[in-house]
Structure 1
Amino acid sequence: MSNNISRSDLDTLIEYLSEEDPRLTQGGQVAAFEAEWSEWLGVKYSVYVNSGSSANLISLAVLRHQTGLGDLIVPPLTWVSDITATLVNGYTPVFVDIDPRTLALASGPTLNKINNATRGVFLTHVQGLNGLTDELLDGLERRKIPLIEDVCESHGAMFKNRKLGTFGLMSNFSFYYAHHMSTIEGGMVCTDDEDLYQMLRMYRSHGMVRESTNSKTRQQYQAANPFLNPDFIFAFPGYNVRNSEIGAVIGRNQLRSLDANNQRRNANHQIFLSHLDPNVFRTDFAIEGSSNYAFNVILNEPDMSLRDHIERELTRHHVEFRRGSSGGGNQMRQPYLKGIVQPDEWKKFPEVEHIHSYGWYIGNYPELEEQKIHQLCQLLNGCTGGNKWERT
C-alpha cells in the first residue's frame, strides 16, 4: 500500500500550524472544507464529522426525527457501523441480499421487502461501484420511502452523470486513512434539505441550538426556553462528533487531487480486470460510472481448497488482502446481531454468503505501478494450476 497523506498535505498543514496563533478546534477551515466539498459533490449542505461511522450515526438520528421508528432496509455486505447505527437509533434492520455485479442491495428484492413498517433504505455503494438503478429510485419515489446513501468507499462514482451521494435524502462519506481521500480520520454528511442540515449541525455538537446557522431556529428555541442560557440550549440528545481544523486543512488539500487520483484508480482497475482469468474469477462487475476503491477477487464457483491455496500464496508474497470483502463478509453472522437476527438466517442470502467465503479485496491506490498489477494477476491466475489463461 501507499501513504495517502502526501508531502503536499504535510507541507500545507505545517504552513497552517506555523501561523501566529492557529486555531485547532472546529472553525473556519472546517467551514471552508464543507463548502468546497459541497461544491465538488453537487449538494447544498455538508457537515464534517470525525468519521464515516459518525456520519452514519447522526444521519440516522436525524432520519428518526423525520420518520419515527420502524424497519430500515440494509445490506448484509457493508461496514459494521451501518448496522450498528441502525440499531443504536432504534430501527429494526431488515436485510436484503446483494446484486453480484454491483455488490449493493438488489433492487427488485429491496422493493419487494417494503411494507408499512419500512422507514427507509440505507444503501451502501461498495468499493466504488454504483448501487443505484432506475428501478430502485423510481420504486422508492412512488412509495415515498427515503434513501440514505453510504458512499464511504465510492467518492466520485456516478450514476447518470450525477455523483453518488446526491440522490438520497442524506449521504455519508468517510475520509479514513485508506479511502479515496483522507483527513486521517473523518467523515461528511450531505443533504439538500436545509432543515435536516440544521439538525445535523446540532447533532454533531451535543444537540446545541447555537450550532444552527438559521437565526429563526435559534430565536424559536430561545423564546420557548427563556430561563435557559441561549448559549446552552440542547435541542436534541446529540453527540460530540466534531472534527478539527487540522483534518480540514488536509481535506481541502486532498480534495484538489481527488478527481485525478480517481482516474488513476480506475485505470488500474481496468488493467486488473483485463488480466484476471474470467474462467476462475468474476470480472463482469457493473463498472460504468465507478470510482474504484479496491480490486475485488471473487471465485466464480465455491472451492474451499482453491480459496485456501490463494490465501497462502498471497500471504507468501506479502500481498495484503481482506477475505469477505467489505466489512469482513456477511454482517448477519456477527455476534453483535445474536438475538436480533434469527439463528441460521444468514443461510438465506446466497450472494453475500459466496463473497463471505470465496471473495477478497486487495488494495488499489493511485501510485500503484502497472507492473505490480500484472504480477498480482499472474500470481492469482497461477493459483489455478499455472498461467494457462492469457489475455487475447
Structure 2
Amino acid sequence: MVALVGVWALVACAGGGDAGVPAARSAPRAGESAGAAVRVPSAPELPGSAYDIGFAADGSGFTLLAECSQRRCRQHVGVLDGGAKAWRRGSSPLPDVTGDLGLSAGLTVLGPGRALIRDGSEHADVPDRTWFTRDGGRTWRRGTARAVGTTAEVARGGTLVQECLERDRSDPNDCVRERLLAVSPRTGRHHVLAHQPPLKGPLGQAGDIPGSGLFVSGADPRTGLPALVRSRDGGRTWQRARLTGPGRGGPAFRVVAGRGGLYATQHGKVSPPAKNGLVTIHASGDGGLTWTRIWQYREGRERTEPRTLLGDLLVADDGLTVHGEDGAWRSTDGARTFTRVTARAPSGSVTHTPAGRLWSDSFGKGRFRISADGMRWAEFRVGAG
C-alpha cells in the first residue's frame, strides 16, 4: 500500500491563501454552525497532527493522529461521541512507525461509535491488518482484510472494498482479477458480495446515495469502456447505467448528490500527466440510471479549466467547485465554463460524509470545515498540528 502522510498533506504552499475554499464565502468563525450539518468542536489538545477523519450521521466521529519525531511516529485515536461537547482520547491499536515506512493506516467510520482501521501490508500477498471498534474506540478487535464467507447485501452503514484475486506477474502492484468485499458495520469483517456487479476491474464503490442507491464503477466487459452500475437493494441486483461520452482515461468514478440531481466525476489519465486527473463530469436527473456528460478535460486548456480533482466535486445551489492540485475552480453555469478562484496551489479538498460536506486543508495542519449545503461552513481544528 502506498505510504500516506494524510490525504491532505500534499505539498507546501507559499502564502497559504484560502481564497476560493469554502470559508471564503462569508466564513463563519470557528465553532459557528450556521449552515453546518452538525456542530463539531475543536480539539487542539489531541496530540499530533490529524491525518484521517470521518463522521457518522449523528455527528459522532473518529480521527487518526500522528505525533512524529525524526525517528518515530506515535499514532493516536481521537473520538467524538454523539452530542458531546469535546473530543476525547481513544485507545490506539496502531503500533509506532519507525524509519522511513510512512503512515499507511486508513479510517472508515461505519456508524455511531463504530469504526474500522485498515493498515496497509508491505507485501502484496499478505492481507492488510484491521482493527474494529463498536464502543467508541475504547476497545479494538484485531483482524485482517481477508474475506470470511459471503453476504447477500451490503448492510446499511457498510461499504465495499476491492480484493485482488490475481496479480500481474510482471508487476505485483497491478491486479488482473478482482472482486468486491462488503465490510460489515456490525463486526468489521469482510465478506464476499454474493452478486458481483457486471463489470471488469478496476472495481470500486463510486458512491452510496440515500434515495438513489449504491454505485460501483469499473470497465464494461464488452467494450472495455468506463462504466457505472447501480443497486437499489444493497448489491443483490445491479442495473447498468447509460453513460454518454465517458473518457478513455480511466474507469474510476465518484458520485455525489446535489439538490438538482446527481453528479459523477471520472478520474484517470490526463495530459500533461497529473496524479489526480479529472477526465469528465456527468450529470443525472433520474437517480443515476442515465448520465449526460456536461464537461470533458481538453488538453491545452489548463489555464482556463481544471485538470485535477482532490476529493469530491463540491455541489451547492450556487455552483460547482473543483478543488485541484493547482487550486480551486468554480462554475455557475453547469460546468460549461470555469473560473479560477484561488492561487495556483492546493486549496484543500472536500469529501461527503453522513454528517455533511467536509473540507480539509491540504497541508496537514488539522483545519477542517463542515457544511450541510456547501455554502455556509463551520470551522474546527483537530490536533496540536
TM-score bin (small chain): under 0.3
Higher percent of residues as strand: 2
Which structure shows the bigger proportion of residues in helix conformation?
1
